[in-house]
Amino acid sequence: MKVQDMTKLTDHESLYQWARQLPKIELHRHLEGSLRLHTLTELAREHGIALPSYDLEQLRPYVQITDDPPDFHHFLSKFRLLRRMYTSKEAVQRVVREAIFDAAQDNVRYLELRFNPVALSRAQNFPMNDVVEWVEEAASLAQEESGTRTCLILQIGRDEPLEIASEIVEIGIAHHGPLIRGLDLAGDEVNYPPARFEAPFQRGLAAGLHVTVHAGEACGAQSILDAITYLGAERIGHGIRAVENSNVISLLHERKIALEVCPTSNIQTGVVQNLSLHPLADLFNLRVRVTLNTDDPSISDIVLSDEYVTAIREIGLTQAQIYRTLRYAVDAAFIPEEERETLRQNFRRWLAPYPGAVAVFDQP
């Protein structure tokens, strides 16, 4: 089967169909931001959690960005309600399973899902180690059933005490295996710089865990430099403000560091004012390894395919550039080298029906 050349796809529906059918990779998706609205109301009912409303439409503004003014703290505030749902092992595992199946439904073939063990354990004071085991167990089953290879990243909140960060790193090291692959630092970039977490992140790296760090989003290019210098970041969550500093761009080249770009999230947090001003295309033209991601599909009410369409329609990326982002994502995935080669081969095979895609994917 040959797929239509997208240069001929003029209407929105055809472009969307192309994006839906394309095999995709997601490196930056938060479990807590992936909770289905319907599941939220069911869990709340089952566990007697009070919600502002049990009607999906009335509940929407409390957990999704609707007509909110773009603002970082406002965006983060949506998690408050979402994080109250983790009231039992079953609830945690249901959310994990649905997040993986939702990605699979959108033809995401390789997924990295990150979660904050503190957030998942807080509702009932579960031991963090138990919560991590539950997530791992559910992810293992769901990846097998859905066919979407799934890796997990343990996320540390910037506002957590150092002891908690160290505990999460130790749990990560103890569970490091085919599923648990890395660490992430997330949360309020402005008030909590990364240097404080140097010791636990270096310990994780030394034990073989991979590291990605949210930076260059709310803060400027210096925060990317700090994430690389102190925490050994191998990828940067967002990182779009790298465009402000040519030294940082050079460092990204030198270390082959990929950016996990999430366009819709950037608009909703107010980091970028509108999509026509988004630096994704500029970063691509500077030969930075950019990848496309959702961040929080539920909060933003999107799937990854929407971000591919947005990148083309609103930001001006070409079809070929999208294929190239897939190669950057394969190269930056937190998997062993042997598995990476298999994933590359798989993508060559999956992209074969798309005119010109394999050549772009294989460009040096």
Where on the chain is the footprint of Zn ion (CB under 5 A)?
Answer: 295
Indicate the angle between helix axes 89-105 and 128-146, nearest 10 degrees.
30
- Nearest residue (CB) to Zn ion, 47 versus 83: 83
Q: What is the rounded CA–CA span in Å between residue 258 and residue 149? A: 20
Closest to 6 (Cα-Cα) out of 362, 319, 272, 331: 319
Amino acid (one-letter) located at 38:
H
- Ranked by CB distance to Zn ion, the top (closest) residue is 295
Cβ 55 to Zn ion shortest distance, Å? 29
Own/partner long-range contacts of 89-95 (Cβ < 8 Å, ≥24 apart)? 89/130, 89/134, 91/43, 91/46, 91/47, 92/120, 92/131, 92/134, 92/135, 92/138, 93/134, 93/135, 93/137, 93/138, 94/39, 94/43, 94/138, 95/31, 95/34, 95/35, 95/39
- Nearest residue (CB) to Zn ion, 28 versus 149: 28
- Nearest residue (CB) to Zn ion, 167 versus 295: 295
- Nearest residue (CB) to Zn ion, 102 versus 295: 295
Cβ 341 to Zn ion shortest distance, Å? 28
- Nearest residue (CB) to Zn ion, 59 versus 113: 113
Cβ 249 to Zn ion shortest distance, Å? 21
Cβ 185 to Zn ion shortest distance, Å? 10
Q: Which residues are catalytic?
A: 217
Cβ 346 to Zn ion shortest distance, Å? 26
Could you tell me the end-to-end alpha-carbon distance of the chain, in angstroms, rounded to an integer? 27
